[in-house]
């Protein structure tokens, strides 16, 4: 599979491929194991992480739309509820069903070697979307997604520009422990703030969910009452949960505690427009058409790049107000 070092190398060499995004249709059925190479229905097993956030829901809908019956696919869908063992079991089930291709959004980076080798032995190509794995890169066909490290760097650069050399106390809501976005967004942010006056008071996972973001933020506020200047959330849903906790504590989010987050889903963008979040870095979930196109290419025996990056944007409150009504997620 695509290692993070491979992806960073691809960026450094300028091997960035941008594909057209889109959304259409819904999934329907056809016999499993159909041969996609001769124009028949292509059966694809998709192992999603779960439904932990607004971003994930938008990503799932994009995939369902792209892998629709109208587009010549049967999609065998599984959402693992953020359980790595359940996700690996789902992939094994796809192999046993004899699907034509497997798409995985890995919950965590590690632990994939054996099942990916099983897919290779069964001659079923695997395409990664969104997240990466640490397994050998010869066990994957390709990967498409976002540059999580760059997202973290962009968020950190905003923090440094906003607070300058001022001593600033920060708390961090991390994504799922061991996941590529959590690892890379943390590393990118820390690189950007190195040498600044920003100090991390506490950092804890909120598992990319609004509920856990609220709970963890409540703990931060109790442990560091009156000390927190900045919250860095690895996704909008955790930031939105934290906003609830901040308001319940009698504080004003965006003023008493400034907030920077990543995703740019609609609820997050609305909070940005309302001044409750101060800056958002986009993570585009509309990957379905890119992935479907790559599945067809791989099954047709075409040569593909090891990694395809989708471009992200970033938004201030004013910029969000200009585009929020035109965005598809």
Higher pLDDT, 25 or 236: 236
List beta partners, residue 63. none
Spatial distance between the Cα atoms of 176 and 178, rounded to a whole number of angstroms: 6
- pLDDT reported for residue 2: 40
**Average of pLDDT values for 10-37?**
36
Angle at 58 between CA 146 and CA 148, to 5 degrees: 20
For residue 27, what pLDDT is reported? Answer: 34
All domains in the chain, ordered by first residue: 17-146+285-310 (3.40.50.2300), 148-283+320-324 (3.40.50.2300)
pLDDT tens digits for range 177-189: 999 999 999 999 9
Q: Are strands 230-233 and 168-174 parallel, antiparallel or unpaired?
A: parallel
127, containing H or E segment: strand 126-130
Q: What is the pLDDT of residues 44-102, one digit of tens each?
A: 999 999 999 889 999 999 999 999 999 999 999 999 999 999 999 999 999 999 999 99
Asked if residues 106 and 128 have their Cβ atoms less than 8 Å apart, the reply is yes
Q: Over 50: is that where the pLDDT of 142 sits?
A: yes
Check pLDDT > 60 for residue 313. Answer: yes
Average pLDDT, the chain: 90
| Separation of alpha carbons 285 and 6, rounded Å | 22
Please report the pLDDT score of residue 325 as a whole number. 94
Q: What integer pLDDT is reported at residue 39 of this predicted model?
A: 58
């Amino acid at each position: 599979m695509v290692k993070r070092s491979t992806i960073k190398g691809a960026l450094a060499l300028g091997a960035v491929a941008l594909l057209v995004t889109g959304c259409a249709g819904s999934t329907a059925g056809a016999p499993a194991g159909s041969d996609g190479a001769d124009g028949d229905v292509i059966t694809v097993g998709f192992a999603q992480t779960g439904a932990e956030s607004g971003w994930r829901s938008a990503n799932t809908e994009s995939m369902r739309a792209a892998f629709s019956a109208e587009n010549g696919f049967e999609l065998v869908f599984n959402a693992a509820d953020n359980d790595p063992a359940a996700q690996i079991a789902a992939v094994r089930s796809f192999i046993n069903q004899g699907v034509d291709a497997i798409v995985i959004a890995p919950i965590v980076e590690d632990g994939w070697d054996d099942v990916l080798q099983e897919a290779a032995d069964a001659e079923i190509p695997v395409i990664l979307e969104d997240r990466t794995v640490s397994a050998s890169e010869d066990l994957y066909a390709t990967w498409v997604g976002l540059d999580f490290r760059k997202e973290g760097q962009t968020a950190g650069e905003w923090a440094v520009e906003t607070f300058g050399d001022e001593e600033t106390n920060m708390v961090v809501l991390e994504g799922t422990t061991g996941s590529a976005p959590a690892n890379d967004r943390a590393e990118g942010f820390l690189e950007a703030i190195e040498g600044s006056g920003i100090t991390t008071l506490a950092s804890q996972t909120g598992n990319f969910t609004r509920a856990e973001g609220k709970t963890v933020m409540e703990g931060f506020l109790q442990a560091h009452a009156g000390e927190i200047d900045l919250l860095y959330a690895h996704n909008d849903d955790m930031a939105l949960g934290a906003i609830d906790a901040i308001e319940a504590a009698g504080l004003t989010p965006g003023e008493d505690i400034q907030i920077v987050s990543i995703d740019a889903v609609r609820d997050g963008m609305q909070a940005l427009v309302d001044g409750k979040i101060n800056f958002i870095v986009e993570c585009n979930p509309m990957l379905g058409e890119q992935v479907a196109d790559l599945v067809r290419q791989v099954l047709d025996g075409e040569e593909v790049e090891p990694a395809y990056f989708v471009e992200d944007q970033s938004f201030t409150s004013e910029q969000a107000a200009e585009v929020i009504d035109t965005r598809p997620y």
